[in-house]
Amino acid sequence: MKIRHLCPLLLVLLVSSGLASVPVPPPAGGTVTGKITYTGTPPKMKPIDMSKEPNCAKEHAASPVLTENVVSGPGNTLEWAVVYVSAGDQGSTPGTQTLKFDQKGCQYIPHVLVMQVDQPFQIVNSDPHLHNIHPLPKINPEWNKSQPPGTPPLTEKYDKPEFISVKCNVHPWMHGWFIVLNTSHYAVSGSDGSFTLKGLAPGKYTLTAWQEQFGTQAQDVTLASGETKNITFTFKALPY
Partner 1 sequence: MRPRLAVLALLLGAAGLLLSAGAPPCFAQIDINIQTATGPMESHIGNFTGHSEPGKAYYRRYCIGCHGPIGDGNGENAQWFDPNFGFAKPRDFTLATYKCRSTPTGTLPTDEDLYDAITRGFVTTNMPQWRPLTEQQRADLVAFIKTFSVKWTSQKVGTPINVPPEPAANIESILRGREMFQKMQCWKCHGPEGHGDGPSAPTLTDSKDNPIRPYNFAVGSRFKCGETNQDLYRIFMTGLDGTPMPSFADVIQPGDAWDLVHFLRTLQPLETPEAKAWKEWIVTHGKELKPIGAEEAPGGGK
Verify binding: residue 46, partner 1, rule CB under 8 A.
Answer: no
For partner 1, the binding residue among 45, 105, 117, 129 (CB under 8 A) is 129
Q: With contacts defined by CB under 8 A, how many residues of the chain interact with partner 1? A: 25
**CB-wise, 142 or 220, nearer to partner 1?**
142
Verify binding: residue 111, partner 1, rule CB under 8 A.
Answer: no
For partner 1, the binding residue among 92, 132, 182, 206 (CB under 8 A) is 132
Taking CB under 8 A as the binding criterion, the range among 83-91, 145-153, 186-194, 202-210 that sits at the site for partner 1 is 145-153
Ordered DSSP codes for the chain: -HHHHHHHHHHHHHHHHHHHSPPPPPPPPEEEEEEEEEEE-PPPP-B---TTSHHHHHHTSSSPPBP-SSEEETTTEEES-EEEEEES--S-----SPEEEEEETTEEESSEEEEETT--EEEEE-SSS-EEEEE--SSSPP--EEE-TTPPPEEE--SS-EEEEEE-SSSTT-EEEEEEES-S-EEE--TTSEEEEEEEPSEEEEEEEEETTTEEEEEEEEE-TT-EEEEEEEEEE---
Verify binding: residue 23, partner 1, rule CB under 8 A.
Answer: no
For partner 1, the binding residue among 45, 99, 117, 154 (CB under 8 A) is 154
Query: Can you give the binding site for partner 1, defined by CB under 8 A?
Result: 52, 54-55, 58, 129-130, 132-134, 136, 138, 141-148, 151, 154, 169-172
